Amino acid sequence: MRELWLGTNNAKKRAELERILRPFGLALRTPAELGVPYEPVEDRPDFAGNAHAKAALLARLAHGFALADDSGLCVDALDGRPGVHSARYGGPGLDDRGRLLTLLRELDGVPPPRRTAHFTCSLCLCGPDGSVLAAIERECPGTLLTAPTGDGGFGYDPIFVPSEFAGDPAHTFARLDAATKDRLSHRGQALRALAERLPALLARQG
């Protein structure tokens, strides 16, 4: 069975990746199994650059195939923030809830028609030498609520309503079942697009 290393230390993100990739018959490995530190520097100006940096580092450390993503929330009223800084927004020491509340404070007073946003996910698959085998980016548009709704998901999921459920606050990413979220989400779209090519990409590498 072909091994694929997943380039994330975020347990909830890793669970999403594993759930979507499980049907493809891969042995999924995580950085915790490396035996050496996996500490990628996410200092690139875009999602694709960060995904590449993470995947290339892990592929070289593991001497295997590695898949990494970089994703985040881009808010129109904030000129695209938090964007690539989504996981670190508001400064050090904040957890998911703290970052979400920071964002809501910045959006205080912004009316519903202007609370548009989209999630972006960039995926990068690298071979054992760190070379890029595939790079894919997908977006999921939606709107942001004024208060969190739902206990599922992670990050900004409790305030994000995908466009398919526009106007219905009961359908934040944090309240959707896993199958529905995977169908609509930026990460689900990107992984399905990659999965169509994955067997051929891995087979070509022997």
Residues classed as catalytic: 70
In three-state secondary structure terms, 58 is helix
Q: Which of 80, 2, 64 is closest to 31 using CA atoms?
A: 64
Separation between Cα atoms, residue 6 and residue 202, nearest integer Å: 15
- Asked whether the beta carbons of 5 and 65 are under 8 A apart, the reply is yes
Tell me which DSSP letter residue 161 carries. E
Pairing mode of beta strands 160-162, 66-75:
unpaired
